[in-house]
Amino acid sequence: MSCRTLFLEGERLYLRPLEPKDAQGPYPGWLNDPEVCRFNSHGRWPSPEGSAAEYIESVRGSRSALVLAMVLREDDRHIGNVSLQAIDWIDRSAEFAILLGDRTAWGKGYSKEAACLICRHGFRELNLRRIHCGTSEDNIAMQRLAAFMGMQQEGRRRQALFKHGEYRDILEYGVLREEFFAKFCEQETKG
């Protein structure tokens, strides 16, 4: 194992803080890739050189967003980012988001592994009560990921996303701490 900045470790990947060097890697290109950004709000404006570096600097040390790089253990390749953002310390909730930018990593279960790692951390270490996400009605992969994590569909924001010349609904999902741990047959750690 090379010198790594591990934060959370899974079977096939590890999560680490975003680093300034990530702005020089493949990450900025993902934000301009129409297929990667097909179902999210990226890609509406070009992502100029330097914007990734600015974003990385803005989230480093943040207490309202935990944004981590998804890195393959086998070759230390940065394949995407996963986050708990808009962390609300009073309501004990956060929004889950994921960007799997490396297309060669699609369909291999890495999103599931990263989602489990960060949600488990959110519930156990950050003492969150609820994690939620929203996704385009067309984003079947994200809907499947939400279901895998034990999230229930909680609502629909009608015509809330304008993408590819059309308004699309956003489906809202959420999972409570005890639901998440029941789904994965783990003992809940009380906060």
When pLDDT is cut at 50, 70 and 90, the band that residue 6 belongs to is: confident
pLDDT at 1 (0 to 100):
40
Residue position matching structure tokens 């960060």: 118
Over range 63-74, report the average pLDDT.
96
pLDDT tens digits, 33-53: 878 877 877 766 667 677 888
Supply the mean pLDDT for the chain: 90
Pick the CATH number of 8-183 from 3.40.630.30, 3.40.960.10, 3.40.50.1820, 3.40.630.10: 3.40.630.30
Residue closest to 17 by CA, chosen among 91, 77, 68: 68
Long-range CB contacts for residues 182-190, cutoff 8 Å, separation at least 24:
182/150, 183/149, 183/150, 184/116, 184/120, 184/150, 186/120, 188/123, 189/123, 189/124
Over range 122-131, report the average pLDDT.
97
The SS3 assignment for 141 reads: helix
Identity of residue 154: E
Q: How far is CA 107 from the centre of its chain?
A: 16
pLDDT at 144 (0 to 100):
96
pLDDT at 9 (0 to 100):
95
pLDDT at 2 (0 to 100):
44
pLDDT tens digits, 7-32: 999 999 999 999 999 989 888 888 88
